[in-house]
Amino acid sequence: MAQDAAGRISKQSPHPYLAGNFAPVYTTHPLTPCTYTGEIPASLAGGQYIRNGSNPLLNDEQDRMYHWFDGDGMLAGVLFRKVEGGIQPQFVNSWVETDILKANRKLGASGSKMLGWPWRITRPIPPSISTLVDPTAGPSAVGKEILRTVLIRFVSHLPWSKAKIRRISVANTAMLYHDGRALATCEAGPPIRVGLPGLETIGWFNGAFAEGEESRKHDNGLPQFAGSLQITTAHPKVDEETGEMILFHNISNAPYVRYSVLPSLETLTANPRRITEAPVLGMSTSRLMHDFGVSKRHTVILNIPLSVTPSNLARGKPMVQYNPREPSRFGVLPRHDPDKIVWFEDDPCIITHTASTWDEYDADGNSTAVCMLLCRLIAPDIIYQAGNLEPPPILSTHEHWRPPGTGHGDGSETSDGSSSRTEESHICRLHYYRFPLNSGNSPRRPSHSFPLSAVDMEFPTVAPGKSMQNARFVYGCSSRSTQVNSADGSLVKIDIITKMHAGELVRRGRESSPRTRRPVDTRLVGDVSLTDGNDNSHVQLFALPPGIYAGEPRFVPDGGANEDRGHLLFFTFDEEQLLPTGDAPRGAASELWILDATEMKDVVAKIQLVQRVPYGLHGEWFTEEQIRGQRSRASKHI
């Protein structure tokens, strides 16, 4: 049987994303030595791999509405500590001490008497994403959950409260490093700083400095995020050459999106072009935006037809709706001139994550186009599936937005020969777009749009420093049993690590057909040699043994000249450890695998962790230099 945060025995959750290795863990460990097999690459010495994920503290009501993205943030990491004669891996995990976590902990453990209430809170304070997106949820049910959150937050600010809720972010999505700070992110609030390698929470980052760090006069004079602008993307982009962090703020009122460029302390004097909360022009409503693209000179805002409209509740409609009768719009703007944004329109789609964005130049060095690689679907299945909800019906192709003057959306007359559009709607593919900057058409359209491979792929990652360049290789996740994003109730379980030779696939695609739904490489998972890295294929797949599942891989270079010289790091869990009931026993444990990224065949080392790491979201690699280069902390922090 599973245990809750208080150590009580609980039955297996009926919700699939609260069961098995999705179930939360409650034990945290300081840096603890681990055993391992194989040989740890010398390139990992002194660095640390950290993965963020959803781990709900309050889990009593296991039949509640729940979404995989709801839970409190928990970081799990492995430090590759240098020791005499080699490397000693050490495991560490820690809660991200957000306002919500601390309130959940206080109100869930001791009751709400400190707020003048006689009862104990038994489920998370924020409303579940599932409640907000459920097509069958009535306005009264949604309104009740929102009102509950507003009321608890209001009461938390009364004089006698010991659990003030200033921000509702659970910081459970991703990690990044900028300007001497390791930051945990979530798009419900600002980033929050954590210390490396111990993962202690230091404080919220406001665009100028983080609470809990040593005060610097220069930082205190910089503009700060204010009000709703504290809500930032979960995927800020950091330019390793200029030291800038680029991010957007998705808000519910006009202009709906704002934009910031934050230089690092080291480059601020030489490059003082700091932008804070500049409006992004051309948005007509609030959208659900998770990611975006940044090249060396441009930023691409993704305005997909997935709207967030609170007023829908009064009309008996869900707050979040996907409307394929509208186009997907791509706003391309110069990094330091957001007023010069130009918009491109293309077929409606869902974009989960971007892999890389880069500029094309003419002979004089002028930008002529912006290109992107990203993960694309034509239906929002993942949003519903991760909440154990039935996705709404899919509109027929004839009801989708089409470019003026065409009978069908571009490429609708073509097919990969294997599936209909309805079946394709559940497939997430690595997709290429090219936006010509000298196009005189109105509205503008991408000159190129096509998928690279028929293989389902999500959680893309590239070599460090390549996300703003034309990356030759993109790594990610897939599955041999179902799509990574499925509409049939299947869980998001990853048992294939993918490597796309993106540079070559893009070249071939541009030569054959600029706009098509047909993938450049039409082979499905079953047609590609699993774990065979020597077939000269432009799609390489590493299949995990049956019953073992992985998470997002993170590429770490080994210093070689080739872009793919390095290793992929990812957590794994063997589900043979689960009990017949489906519960994870107390002694269950995960591993960190280190895969040779060049051949995609050999796991060179396996780190045996001291406990289970639930399936989670995004990870990051922090170098020894970054760990050493962290900003000083104040004597006291969160």
Handedness of CA 24, 75, 531, 519 (dihedral sign): positive
User: Counting every residue, how long is the chain?
Assistant: 638
Helix (H, G, I), strand (E, B), or coil: what is residue 89?
strand
Tokens 């299945």 sit on residue: 381
Q: Which residue ranges are tagged as binding site? A: 235, 290, 353, 618
For the chain, the distance separating the N- and C-terminal CA atoms, rounded to the nearest angstrom, is: 33
Distant-in-sequence, close-in-space partners of 136: CB < 8 Å, separation ≥ 6: none
CA dihedral 568, 77, 551, 543 (to 10 degrees): 40
Of the candidates 356, 375, 355, the residue with the CA atom closest to the CA atom of residue 478 = 375
Helix (H, G, I), strand (E, B), or coil: what is residue 213?
strand
Task: Write out the two tokens for 312.
Answer: 């829908």
Tokens 């497939």 sit on residue: 427
Of the candidates 635, 300, 605, 272, the residue with the CA atom closest to the CA atom of residue 434 = 300
Helix (H, G, I), strand (E, B), or coil: what is residue 276?
strand
Q: What is the 3-state secondary structure (H, E, C) of 310-340?
A: HHHHHHCCCCEEECCCCCEEEEEEECCCHHH
**E strand or H helix that includes residue 595:** strand 591-596
DSSP 8-state assignment for residue 539: E
Tokens 């089409």 sit on residue: 402
Task: Write out the two tokens for 9.
Answer: 């025995």
Q: Which residue ranges are tagged as binding site for Fe cation? A: 235, 290, 353, 618
Distant-in-sequence, close-in-space partners of 43: CB < 8 Å, separation ≥ 6: 556, 557, 558, 559, 566, 567
3-state percent helix, strand, coil for the chain, nearest multiple of 5: 15, 30, 55
**E strand or H helix that includes residue 35:** strand 35-38
Q: Identify whether the C-beta of residue 62 lies closer than 8 Å to the C-beta of residue 629.
A: no
